[in-house]
Structure 1
Amino acid sequence: MSIVVFGSLNMDLVTQTARLPQPGETVLGQNFTTVPGGKGANQAVAAARLGAEVVMVGRVGNDGFGEALRQSLGAAGIETAEIATDPDHRTGTAAIAVEQSGENQIIVVPGANGAVDQTDVERLTPYLKTAQVLLLQFEIPQRAVQKAAAIAQQYNLQVIVDPAPAVDQLPDRFYPHIHLLTPNQSEASRLVGFEVKDPETAAAAAKALRQRGVNMVIVKLGAQGIVCDGPDGRFRQPAFAVDVVDTVAAGDALNGGLAVALAEGQPVQSAVTWARAVAALAVTRSGAQAAMPTRSQVEAFLRDAD
């Protein structure tokens, strides 16, 4: 089982606070840490912790953050040979504020991630010949993401796209290259042009996105669970009831779990349940990559949930 991740690597600068500030307001933080992050790297770690063979393709800067990120991914068992060092840009960063409820605010500075281009796609392509799944996100330039998806489709990979950060529109030609699109409420709202706030509007959004050529859509509704629309029909699954500590990497955990489950050939409903369990465990812990659960932890969680 081989999963390729083409995406971002960031150093997360995390501040914990009693509550998030309002515009123009200053609040006191309770703790500050630097932890490896980036949506691409987070999803890579999520998949690796679940037992997949994972290759990470992306860029970091020629600085201490970049070296730390490469070492961290290597320690997780991820192939890092195709993480290039960009001499002209610093490593990407994300300033994250997390309040006691687990809600967060994030500001991403792309750095080297924003310089990803055709040369990176060329480095990625050989790995697509033997992989089962390609994971993509929008923290690297759209042109590179779309080119990677088109090539992956030629090799019959399952292409999973996390459309974050949110965008207002995507080219029509991109949608048919996506096997699975996984927007949250705000991302889905931006893509379809109407507010997605509950399972009913999520179902409408998923239907609209599938009409554009996507094979399957999962709309993430947080505490309201997920809505999935695919070739075999539409279904909803509720969220697992857990004590939330930090929601920073919930979506990344879900996508990593989906990649592993689909690469293993699990049926769609089982794959979604598996991925929801991965995300549920991740939000009970602080941080992004450090919060990703192992396979045995997910299996134990699902046994207890029955």
Structure 2
Amino acid sequence: MLAAVAARTDPADPLSGLELRDVERPDPPQHWSVVDVRAASLNHHDLWSLRGVGLPADRLPMVLGCDAAGVTADGREVVVHAVVGATGHGVGPTERRSILSEQHPGTLAEQVAVPTWNLVAKPTELSFEEAACLPTAWLTAYRMLFRSAAARPGDRVLVQGAGGGVATAAVVLGAAAGVEVVVTSRDAAKRDRALSLGASVAVEPGARLPFRVDAVLETVGAATWAHSVRSLRPGGTIVVAGATTGDASPMELQRIFFTELTVVGATMGDKEDLEALLRMLVRTGVRPVVDSTVPLTRVHDGFRRLASGEQVGKVVVTVGD
């Protein structure tokens, strides 16, 4: 079967290790299921894998991809929850938590095998392309907003770095829930797009906000950390789900303890969060923002789009029917 594979890793030129290959179809163990992939979406996790972060040489070649929606052998339309090992289902109690494409082959292929427990019914109201956007970026945004930050209608939340998958999802989900969302971006077009998607305020990175916020969703790291800390009201919360510009230094520890801020980490979400997110989308009519779609045969084009940083929303790869 056809698959997008990390054949090599290169920190300086990650896309040089991306290959489209014929690989063996999955032969699932007991309590696993094979999904015929209809759509998969790209994540920065894939680019980090191609750089060798979390994907050592002894696991190469590795099929990339975390997110997928597709059809099981018995005809069920499903969304794949990408976290394996967190519950022990299908792998036993000793395997550490990982994301598809780290320990087990990923979703950028005609088929993917996952623990049967990881399958969630796809609502008929969502297309395969829309559903494939959810398990990583949208699930992370959902958990950051509603579980980690406990945002409620009327709360004010700052989202650093508009345009990426998590940030775009946070804007749309927050607006749908009555949260007043503030975003930052160097790109005026991305700021305008965020406003059109429901953000109430859009400013350049580091700009003074018109008010202090209750929570900050932080995925950028060093470049925005000081601004995140200084934008919070006393007692507010920073939720961290990434650090694309590296670890923050200094950490602003004096301000953190003096104003009694809370710093919380978030990594995706659990299966129950994914099911709740799907119910929210069906109920509200909110749909994932798709930047562009490419067939699996043109997966290199999709990765170049992601690596450019020019996308707003998700880059989706279509597979099969």
Q: TM-score range by the shorter chain?
A: 0.3 to 0.5
Normalising by the residue count of structure 2, what TM-score does the alignment of the two structures yield? 0.32
TM-score between the two structures when normalised by the length of structure 1: 0.33
